[in-house]
Amino acid sequence: MVGAVTRNPATDGTPAPVAFDDAMRRYAPVLGLETHVELGTASKMFCSCATVFGAAPNTQVCPVCLALPGALPVVNGTAVESAVRLGLALNCSIAEWCRFARKNYFYPDMPKNYQISQYDEPLCSDGHLDVTVDTPDGPREFRVEIERVHMEEDTGKTAHVGGATGRIHGAEYSIVDYNRAGIPLLEIVTRPIEHTGDLAPLVARAYVSELRDLVRSLGISDVRMEEGSLRCDVNVSLMPVGATEWGTRSETKNVNSLRSVERAVRSEIERQAGVLDAGQRVVQETRHFQENTGGTVAGRSKEEAQDYRYFPDPDLVPVAPDPAWVEELRAGLPELPAALRARVKAEWSLTDEELRDLVNADAIALVSATVDAGAPPADARKWWLNELSRRATENEVELAALPITPAQVARVAALVAEGTLTNKLARQVVEGVLNGEGDPDQVVEARGLKVVSDDSALGAAVDRAIADNPDVAEKIRGGKVAAAGALVGAVMKATRGQADAGRARQMILERLGAA
Ligand code: ADP
Ligand code: MG
Ligand code: ZN
């Protein structure tokens, strides 16, 4: 089974990776995903400090999150509520009683030298999330089992200054910002995901994407991967096809985009297949994903749970959510993404492909909200999938992060439908809204973008076009109605595209006796 082993010339004798398809013929991957979601609560997990992203360093800190002696933590009720709601949305059981635990390790961005987390008593456990993957043979569904959802607090952020790479090696000094220390996190841990075969990279990506949409629909986090409010650790192991005992896993930390999740799984499969082919053992370690190469490099060898000396945090009372309150939260859950997809597909009569385009563009909730704000589904889809998707790509932001609301898009669509704007003008209005010039109506007013359709202003432009183009006018008078296009063009030019072209044409023909 083990063929000739090629050494990787770029490194110290690490076995060369095996091409993905080849690896998949001989090995079966097992995945595990640990996702951290930073909650959007106004205050931190155990103190009342603010949580605004991007504030000046160390301005959102207090004795509790700096762990000054004698300071005592108090649980943020909204964070518990968010955790319960996510647990319910993931079909988990909610513990009637659970505690926080101290996870002890030293890291300079963690002032207490322990992190308050949950260990053997997570708030939510035993759930599942169904995800769909597109395959050449059509969509395939996978059920991802959720082991647990637990609450914890984020660490601060260290920056290494003076080096070329921004990493600690070669840096002159490091600075630390504790603003993020103590921000509430939920960690969502899957059970090992088996039987995906060569779809493993896509299943991992689909899971993170579905989880992100679910969290977003609950409104508990802005889940921006690029800002780190959703971060994913990707565990991968390989076993020979047909084996039942899982292989040793590696854990690639803090993968920061959906595309990177997919690439991290793929490259780990290729790397580990090389290691196994060479007769070596995969080391249990954390690895770091490299954006530029799409591969991973070794980090630290992985601690075992006992290294963390977990014990219940004596400073905090247990969390005991009242079952009646949990049921209230369950009843108050919004429509979740899977249900939303099924509903819009039926209501808007979408084909599988049209639905897939909406899902791939990450536009379904936005389009749905735009329809709720009064736009016809076709218009709402058109705006989000064309003009706005293009601008999001141009600015390298997610569609949902564009500074325009579904209600504003619906208003633009309405202005087009009522004839106040042409499509071309509407795009300028959208540009204005995105520039922060205000609501669509304010942009129309401020930029003077209304279609010129009132007869006196339009009439003046028409008269001028006729006077400026006597030979064209003559042809039209002589019955060559098709020549009117040239005069309509002149009117459009004179009104900077703001004329109602149909009305202009009609006036031209009337004035020249050709109507
Ligand atoms: P740790 O806290 O050390 O990261 P966990 O028990 O939380 O360990 O597991 C991490 C993730 O890895 C979980 O999603 C789990 O399902 C998954 N996992 C466990 N064993 C394997 C394996 N052999 N191969 C792939 N994934 C695994
Ligand atoms: Mg872990
Ligand atoms: Zn604080």
Mean pLDDT of the chain: 92
One domain, residues 376 and 488: no
392 within a domain of the structure (yes/no): yes
The set of protein residues with a Cβ atom below 6 angstroms from ligand 1 is: 30-34, 189-192, 235, 237, 246, 249, 251
CA 192 to ligand 1: nearest atom? 16
One domain, residues 443 and 491: no
Measure 264 CA to ligand 3 centroid, in angstroms.
35
Query: Using 50, 70 and 90 to split pLDDT, how confident is the model at 10?
Result: low
Residue whose CA is at the smallest distance from ligand 1 atom 20: 192
CB 365 within 8 A of CB 216: yes
CA 246 to ligand 1: nearest atom? 23
Residue whose CA is at the smallest distance from ligand 1 atom 22: 249
CB 384 within 8 A of CB 412: no
One domain, residues 241 and 379: no
pLDDT at 3: 46
pLDDT in tens, 363-394: 999 999 999 999 999 999 999 999 999 999 99
Domain count along the chain: 3
Residue 1 has pLDDT above 50, yes or no: no
Residue whose CA is at the smallest distance from ligand 1 atom 15: 32
Measure 174 CA to ligand 3 centroid, in angstroms.
22
One domain, residues 201 and 57: yes
CA distance linking residue 358 with residue 368, whole number of Å: 10
Query: Side by side, which strands form the sheet with 101-104?
Result: 114-117, 101-104, 311-312
255 within a domain of the structure (yes/no): no
Choose the weakest-confidence range: 158-167, 181-190, 481-490.
Answer: 158-167
pLDDT in tens, 102-133: 999 988 899 999 999 999 999 999 999 999 99
pLDDT in tens, 397-411: 889 889 999 999 999
One domain, residues 436 and 459: no
DSSP 220-233: S----GGGTSEEEE
Measure 66 CA to ligand 3 centroid, in angstroms.
7
pLDDT at 11: 55
Task: Count CA within 13 A, CB hemisphere, residue 150.
Answer: 20
pLDDT at 2: 44
One domain, residues 102 and 213: yes
CB 277 within 8 A of CB 14: no
311 within a domain of the structure (yes/no): no
Query: Using 50, 70 and 90 to split pLDDT, how confident is the model at 498?
Result: confident
One domain, residues 231 and 99: yes
pLDDT in tens, 247-260: 999 999 989 999 99
Question: Which of the listed residues 250, 271, 287 is the one where a domain comes to its end?
Answer: 250
pLDDT at 33: 98
Question: Which of the listed residues 195, 224, 250 is the one where a domain comes to its end?
Answer: 250
Question: Which of the listed residues 431, 447, 463 is the one where a domain comes to its end?
Answer: 447
267 within a domain of the structure (yes/no): no
One domain, residues 469 and 417: no
Residue 360 has pLDDT above 90, yes or no: no
Share of the chain above pLDDT 70, in %: 96
User: Can you give the residue range of the structural domain that contains 420?
Assistant: 335-447
Mutate to test the pocket of ligand 1, among 105, 148, 203, 249 (most ligand atoms within 8 A of CB): 249
pLDDT in tens, 283-300: 999 999 988 888 999 987
pLDDT at 303: 64
Measure 32 CA to ligand 2 centroid, in angstroms.
9
368 within a domain of the structure (yes/no): yes
One domain, residues 77 and 126: yes
One domain, residues 428 and 357: yes
- Identify the nearest ligand to the CA of 301 by its number: 1
435 within a domain of the structure (yes/no): yes
One domain, residues 430 and 471: no
pLDDT at 134: 87
Using CA atoms in the order 63, 64, 68, 70, what is the torsion angle rounded to 10 degrees?
A: 110
Mutate to test the pocket of ligand 1, among 189, 234, 303 (most ligand atoms within 8 A of CB): 189
CA distance linking residue 372 with residue 395, whole number of Å: 27
- Identify the nearest ligand to the CA of 60 by its number: 3
Mean predicted confidence (pLDDT) in 206-230: 93
320 within a domain of the structure (yes/no): no
Three-state secondary structure call for residue 288 = strand
One domain, residues 366 and 217: no
Mutate to test the pocket of ligand 1, among 235, 283, 304 (most ligand atoms within 8 A of CB): 235
24 within a domain of the structure (yes/no): no
| Number of CB atoms found within 10 A of residue 387's CB | 18
